[in-house]
C-alpha cells in the first residue's frame, strides 16, 4: 500500500523538515500475534477442563456428584449464553467469529455439554442401557451448534459423535487398530458411514450450504471409505465377491481423483494414489504368490522397488499438473 506521506513529500506538498518529523513520530511497524493468542486460548480451554477434572476427581467424596453436575451445567449454560448473545447473523456461507475468544468459549461450552451428558449417564444411568440415545442427543446438539455458529472444530466433534453413535471410530488409526473387520456388520457399518460423510461433502458443494465444511466431511469420508473397501476385499478374498469390492474401490478412487483434480487438492489426490497402490499391490502379490516359484518371488521384490520409484515420479508429475492448471 503506498505511503501517503511519501506521496505528499514527492509531490512537493510536504517539506523535508516536516517529512523528517513525521517519520520520527510514526510508530514502529506492527506485527501480528493472532496465532499466539489463539494458541493460548486453546491451551486455556484444555487446562481449564483438565484442571477441573483433576480437582473433581480428587475431591469427589466431599464435593458430591450433584455439585459437580451443577458446576458443569453452569459452565455450559454460561458459554452458550455468551455465544448466542455475541454471534453474528446466520448465513449459508462462511461467517467469521465476532472476536478471538468466541470460538474457544463455544468449544468450552460444547466440551462441558459432552462431559455433562457422559457424567449423567455414568453416574445416574438416565438413559438406562439405551446407549444409542445417550450418543444421539450430543450428536444432534453438536451438528446444530457447528452449523448455527459456523465452527469447524465442533463439526469434527459432531462427525466423531456420528461415528460413535454408529458404533465405530472415525479416526483412521483407531479404525485400523481396534476394529473387527472379520465382522460383516462392522464392514457394512463403516461403508454406510463413509457414504454419509461423502454425501455430506457433496451436498455442501452442490447446494452452496457451508461450502467450507466440505473438507472435514471429505477428509474422514475418504479415509473411512477406502479402508472399508479394502477390508471388504480382504474379507471376501477367497470368493468371487472380492472382485466387486476391488472394482468399487477403483470406481470410488476415480470419483475422488476427478473431484480433487478439479479443485486442485493434492492432498486428496495423494490419498487416492496411496490407497489405489495398496489395492493394486495386493492384486499383484496375489497373482505372483499363486505361481509359487522362486522367479515370482524375485519379481515381487523388483515390483515393490520399481513401483515405489514410479509412485514418486507419478506424484511429482501430478503436482506439476495441478500447479500448471
Tens digits of per-residue pLDDT, 140-172? 999 999 999 999 989 999 999 998 888 755 555
Q: Averaged over 113-118, what is the pLDDT?
A: 88
**What pLDDT does 176 receive?**
55
Please give the mean pLDDT across all residues of the chain.
84
**What pLDDT does 293 receive?**
67
Assign 90 a pLDDT band (cuts: 50, 70, 90): very high
**What pLDDT does 30 receive?**
54
Q: In whole angstroms, what is the distance from residue 139 CA to residue 163 CA?
A: 9
Q: Averaged over 289-309, what is the pLDDT?
A: 79
More confident residue, 178 or 17: 17
Q: In whole angstroms, what is the distance from residue 231 CA to residue 237 CA?
A: 10
40, pLDDT greater than 90: no
Number of Cα atoms under 13 Å in the Cβ half of residue 4: 2
Q: Averaged over 275-300, what is the pLDDT?
A: 82
Q: What is the pTM of this model?
A: 0.79
**What pLDDT does 215 receive?**
95
183, pLDDT greater than 90: no
Q: Averaged over 261-279, what is the pLDDT?
A: 94
Query: In this structure, are residues 169 and 163 in contact, taking their beta carbons and an 8 Å threshold?
Result: yes
Assign 1 a pLDDT band (cuts: 50, 70, 90): very low
**What pLDDT does 248 receive?**
96
Assign 219 a pLDDT band (cuts: 50, 70, 90): very high
H helices present in 59-171, as ranges: 60-63, 65-86, 102-124, 131-149, 152-165
Q: In whole angstroms, what is the distance from residue 180 CA to residue 186 CA?
A: 7
Q: What is the percentage of the chain residues whose pLDDT exceeds 70?
A: 85
More confident residue, 12 or 118: 118
**What pLDDT does 280 receive?**
94
- Which of 60-74, 130-144, 253-267 is modeled with the greatest confidence? 253-267
**What pLDDT does 315 receive?**
92
**Candidate from 25-34, 116-125, 210-219, 221-230 with smallest mean pLDDT:** 25-34
| Phi, psi of 137, deg, nearest 5 | -60, -50
**What pLDDT does 155 receive?**
95
**What pLDDT does 169 receive?**
53
4, pLDDT greater than 80: no
Conformational region of residue 15, where left means phi above 0, alpha means psi within -120 to 50, and beta covers everything else: beta
Q: In whole angstroms, what is the distance from residue 204 CA to residue 155 CA?
A: 13
Query: In this structure, are residues 248 and 242 in contact, taking their beta carbons and an 8 Å threshold?
Result: no
Amino acid at each position: 500500500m503506498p505511503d501517503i506521506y511519501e506521496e505528499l513529500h514527492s509531490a512537493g506538498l510536504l517539506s523535508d523538515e516536516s517529512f523528517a518529523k513525521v517519520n520520527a513520530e510514526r510508530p514502529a511497524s506492527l506485527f501480528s500475534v493472532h496465532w499466539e493468542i489463539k494458541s493460548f486460548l486453546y491451551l486455556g480451554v484444555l487446562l481449564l477442563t483438565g484442571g477441573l477434572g483433576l480437582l473433581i476427581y480428587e475431591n469427589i467424596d466431599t464435593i458430591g456428584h450433584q455439585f459437580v453436575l451443577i458446576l458443569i451445567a453452569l459452565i455450559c449454560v454460561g458459554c452458550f449464553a455468551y455465544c448466542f448473545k455475541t454471534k453474528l447473523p446466520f448465513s449459508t456461507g462462511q461467517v467469521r467469529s465476532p472476536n478471538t475468544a468466541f470460538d474457544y468459549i463455544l468449544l468450552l461450552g460444547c466440551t462441558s455439554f459432552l462431559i455433562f451428558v457422559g457424567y449423567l449417564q455414568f453416574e445416574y444411568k438416565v438413559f438406562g442401557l439405551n446407549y444409542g440415545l445417550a450418543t444421539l442427543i450430543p450428536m444432534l446438539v453438536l451438528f446444530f451448534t457447528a452449523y448455527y455458529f459456523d465452527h469447524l472444530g465442533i463439526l469434527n466433534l459432531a462427525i466423531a459423535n456420528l461415528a460413535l453413535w454408529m458404533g465405530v471410530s472415525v479416526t483412521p488409526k483407531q479404525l485400523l487398530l481396534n476394529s473387527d473387520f472379520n465382522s460383516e456388520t462392522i464392514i457394512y457399518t463403516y461403508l454406510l458411514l463413509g457414504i454419509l460423510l461423502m454425501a455430506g461433502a457433496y451436498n455442501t458443494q452442490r447446494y452452496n450450504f457451508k461450502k467450507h465444511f466440505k473438507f472435514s466431511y471429505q477428509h474422514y469420508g475418504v479415509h473411512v471409505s477406502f479402508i472399508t473397501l479394502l477390508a471388504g476385499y480382504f474379507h471376501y478374498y477367497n470368493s468371487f465377491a472380492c472382485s466387486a469390492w476391488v472394482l468399487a474401490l477403483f470406481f470410488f478412487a476415480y470419483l475422488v481423483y476427478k473431484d480433487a483434480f478439479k479443485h486442485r487438492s493434492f492432498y486428496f489426490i495423494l490419498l487416492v494414489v496411496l490407497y489405489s497402490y495398496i489395492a493394486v499391490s495386493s492384486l499383484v502379490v496375489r497373482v505372483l504368490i499363486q505361481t509359487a516359484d522362486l522367479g515370482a518371488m524375485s519379481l515381487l521384490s523388483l515390483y515393490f522397488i520399481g513401483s515405489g520409484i514410479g509412485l514418486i515420479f507419478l506424484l511429482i508429475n501430478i503436482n506439476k499438473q495441478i500447479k500448471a492448471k
